[in-house]
């Protein structure tokens, strides 16, 4: 029999144990602790961050774009360039002319490693273009927008393949369509909508090439990157690759392309449904439900916004900075960067907690991925794989209904994870952890056939949407909170309009179709009016005003400029009838 310690009473021992456990628990739940994965960055990226910081100190914040500097290719090797930069900065502040001289001698223009190309399948007037559009003015406008493919199509220069260490741009085998302005590379979820447009323009080969580029990124990195730059290798974006493959297949019936794409879709699915992305929640009936979250592999300032992120993090203690940087990068992974949706305290970026949120839209996208893989597996004659993913889709739909659906409000809500509900790797469902704030993302599941095929459900959700206050004079607002961030009120974004409207139109509900048509007319009018005034298509619009430009965020509103030949105001009621 073991001897009991003679100098410790049982109450004293219990007190010590409780104290130790309490402190261990506190350490584990330290809100500043960051212990997640990190993907190392390239030496070139680290160097260009220093150039970015020096440029800000020299030129000042007015009109400063930090991304410009991390996109610049080297003219000489990194060692030589670094030595020259050290000499430049050795004696303190760098004069403007000296910095300009250094940049001219050692760094190339930000888009020097891209070559403008005309897509081989581009036609000025495609056959059967917009067959259901009769309005002459709208058809002319559509053809002008169609011409943007020539303005935005690029090929990665052979220099990137020959000297990859000189570039942050990643080599890609096929041509790309870039968003334009400061965004000089292909982006993940932007490409879903690019793909839809290319197919509408009958540019199937261009669409296949762009999607093949994304597939190559999956094979190299395990997931589609946020964008095709070395500094984006630590995060992805909303997973819509399977939707692109399905759209191409439905247009072409090319089974070989499906067989080529499926291994990448399976690999990407594994990325989003395992490791730090997978979260288990025990629902109110005692069943474990698996859902996914965004989680960037990064805990430093984003290189493309290095100086901005450092300024944001200057407001928190040093020990909290890595966790904040991870939250910032993770929020960029959502595509909604930035929004009060991800903040514990509205309007305060330092309270971003995106890794602690199970997002409605992400899980809808993954459900669609499961349904897409089911469909594609059936098409190539793989019933076993189809059955596996059919079962996975049923499980995820049930999880979405159990954890994210709010029966009273008739909306799906993001679910906030709390360590107080965590036990042995499983969270216990707490109804109060649903974020019942109003965001357009609450209605994204309507985009998925698994939900829009239920007429009763659709009618309930449409009623909730109409009561929400999100439908404004010029489209759907992203939220009702005017935080100054670009993914909040009063901004409206095309992806949100598209997904909600598409879901409503695909349903069998007459009322839903009427609401969808009303939203479409509002959105098209504001796009058309802005185009008439400016000759540009914007990335976001002010949905309170027809023809109003969106704003907010960490960069100026991006636009695509094309010649305009219209001279009439299009917000009149009959302008687009």
Which positions are annotated as active-site residues?
337, 539
Which two three-digit tokens encode residue 309? 């992120």
Measured distance CA(337)–CA(316) in Å, rounded? 20
Give the CA dihedral 447, 478, 538, 542, nearest 10 degrees.
Answer: 140
Cβ atoms of 296 and 290 within 8 Å: the answer is no
Measured distance CA(414)–CA(67) in Å, rounded? 31
Which two three-digit tokens encode residue 171? 């080599």
- Of residues 440, 453, 451, 559, the one with CA closest to residue 498: 440
Measured distance CA(342)–CA(349) in Å, rounded? 9
Q: Which residues contact 218 (CB under 8 A, 6 or more apart)?
A: 224, 241, 264, 267, 268
Write phi, then psi, for 463 (nearest 5 degrees). Answer: -60, -40
Measured distance CA(282)–CA(1) in Å, rounded? 43
Helices (H), 336-454: 360-379, 383-399, 449-452
**H or E element in which residue 289 lies:** strand 288-292
Residue with tokens 């107080």: 420
The size of the chain, in residues, is: 577
CA distances from 235 to 37, 242, 297, 441 (A): 11, 18, 6, 21
Considering only CA atoms, give the Rg of the chain.
26
- With both helix axes pointing from N to C terminus, report the angle between 455-468 and 510-534 in degrees, rounded to the nearest 10: 50
Query: DSSP per residue over 320-336, as a string?
Result: GHHHHHHHHHHHHHTS-
- The burial class, CB within 10 Å (0-12 / 13-18 / 19+), for 418 is middle
Long-range (24+ apart) CB contacts under 8 A made by 39-43 are 39/233, 39/234, 39/297, 39/298, 41/230, 41/231, 41/233, 41/234, 41/300, 41/303, 42/165, 42/168, 42/230, 42/231, 43/78
Cβ atoms of 561 and 524 within 8 Å: the answer is no
Q: What angle do CA 107, 108, 109 make, to 5 degrees?
A: 130
Measured distance CA(227)–CA(188) in Å, rounded? 6
Q: 3-state class of 94 per DSSP?
A: coil
Measured distance CA(297)–CA(294) in Å, rounded? 10
Phi-psi region of 484 (alpha: psi -120 to 50; beta: other; left: phi over 0): left
């Amino acid at each position: 029999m073991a001897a009991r310690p003679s100098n410790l009473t049982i109450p004293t021992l219990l007190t010590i144990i409780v104290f130790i456990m309490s402190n261990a628990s506190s350490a584990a739940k330290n809100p500043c602790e960051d212990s997640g994965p990190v993907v190392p960055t390239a030496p070139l990226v680290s160097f260009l961050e220093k150039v970015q910081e020096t440029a800000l100190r020299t030129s000042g914040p007015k009109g400063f774009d930090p991304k410009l500097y991390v996109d610049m290719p080297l003219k000489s090797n990194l060692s030589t360039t670094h030595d020259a930069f050290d000499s430049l900065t050795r004696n303190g502040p760098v004069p403007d002319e000296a910095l300009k001289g250094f940049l001219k001698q050692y760094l190339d223009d930000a888009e020097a490693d891209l070559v403008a190309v005309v897509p081989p399948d581009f036609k000025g007037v495609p056959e059967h273009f917009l067959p259901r559009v009769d309005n002459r003015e709208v058809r002319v406008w559509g053809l002008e927008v169609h011409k943007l493919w020539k303005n935005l199509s690029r090929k990665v220069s052979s220099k990137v393949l020959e000297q990859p260490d000189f570039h942050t741009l990643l080599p890609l085998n096929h041509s790309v369509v870039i968003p334009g302005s400061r965004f000089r590379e292909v982006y993940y979820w932007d490409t879903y909508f690019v793909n839809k447009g290319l197919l509408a323009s009958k540019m199937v080969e261009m669409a296949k090439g762009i999607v093949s580029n994304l597939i190559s990124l999956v094979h190299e990195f395990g997931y589609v990157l946020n964008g095709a730059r070395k500094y984006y290798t630590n995060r992805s974006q909303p997973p819509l690759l399977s939707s692109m493959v399905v759209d191409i297949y439905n247009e072409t019936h090319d089974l070989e392309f499906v067989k080529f794409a499926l291994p990448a879709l399976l690999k990407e699915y594994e990325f989003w449904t395992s490791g730090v992305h997978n979260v288990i929640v025990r629902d109110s009936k005692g069943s474990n439900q698996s859902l996914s979250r965004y989680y960037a592999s990064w805990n430093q300032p984003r290189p493309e916004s290095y100086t901005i992120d450092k300024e944001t993090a200057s407001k928190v203690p040093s020990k909290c900075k890595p966790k904040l940087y991870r939250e910032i990068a993770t929020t960029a992974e959502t595509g909604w960067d930035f929004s009060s949706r991800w903040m514990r305290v509205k309007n305060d970026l330092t309270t971003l907690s995106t890794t602690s949120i199970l997002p409605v839209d992400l899980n809808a996208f993954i459900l669609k991925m499961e349904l897409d893989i089911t469909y594609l597996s059936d098409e190539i004659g793989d019933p076993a794989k189809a059955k596996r993913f059919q079962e996975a889709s049923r499980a995820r739909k049930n999880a979405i209904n159990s954890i994210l659906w709010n029966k009273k409000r008739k909306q799906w809500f993001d679910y906030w994870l709390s360590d107080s509900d965590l036990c042995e790797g499983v969270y216990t469902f707490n109804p109060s952890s649903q974020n019942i704030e109003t965001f357009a993302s609450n209605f994204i599941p309507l985009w998925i056939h698994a939900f829009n095929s239920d007429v009763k459900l659709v009618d309930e959700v449409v009623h909730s949407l109409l009561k929400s206050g999100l439908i404004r004079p010029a489209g759907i607002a992203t939220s009702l909170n005017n935080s100054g961030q670009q993914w909040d009120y009063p901004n409206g974004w095309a992806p949100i309009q598209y997904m909600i409207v598409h879901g409503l139109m695909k349903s069998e509900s007459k009322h839903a179709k009427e609401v969808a048509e009303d939203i479409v007319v509002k959105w098209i009018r504001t796009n058309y009016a802005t185009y008439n005034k400016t000759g540009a298509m914007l990335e976001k619009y002010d949905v309170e005003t027809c023809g109003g430009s969106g704003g907010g965020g960490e960069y100026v509103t991006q636009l695509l400029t094309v010649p305009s030949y219209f001279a009439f105001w299009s917000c009149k009621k009959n302008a687009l009838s």
